Amino acid sequence: MKVNIQSVNFNVDGKLVDFIEKRVEKLDNYYDKIIDANVYLKVQNTSEKENKIVEFKLNVPGDALVVKKQCRSFEEAVDNSADALERLLIKKKEKIRAHG
């Protein structure tokens, strides 16, 4: 699966890229037909501490799953997003089994 990571108005460091790629690869365990993943990283200019935004877009055949999370750190946001995507992928797989 191809993982595209885009950061808006800042340079993402290598450790974060590795973390995101490892976390996204685990999604394959839940659904093996994922085409690619687009990850958008943004820092919101506010006084709030929870200003890191991560948006995931997973492309699967016939659908795109989008999850957006805002947290204190990118790692936390990536983890929360991946957990949400895991639940969505499990639902999608169960729906396919039910109709299959």
Angstrom distance (rounded) from CA 49 to CA 52: 8
**What per-residue confidence (pLDDT) applies to 99?**
82
Task: Classify domain 2-99 at the CATH class level.
Answer: alpha beta
Render pLDDT for 60-78 as a digit per residue (tens, 0 to 9): 999 999 999 999 999 999 9
Distances from the Cα of 5 to the Cα of 2, 48, 50, 72, 92, angstroms: 10, 24, 20, 19, 24
Strand partners, 96: none
Task: Tell me the backbone φ, ψ of residue 20, rounded to 5 degrees.
Answer: -65, -45
**What per-residue confidence (pLDDT) applies to 52?**
96
67: helix, coil or strand?
strand
Overall pTM > 0.85: yes
Render pLDDT for 5-49 as a digit per residue (tens, 0 to 9): 999 989 999 999 999 999 999 999 999 999 999 999 999 988 889
The 10 Å Cβ neighbour count of residue 48 is 8
Angstrom distance (rounded) from CA 75 to CA 72: 9
**What per-residue confidence (pLDDT) applies to 70?**
97
Residue 100 has pLDDT above 80, yes or no: no
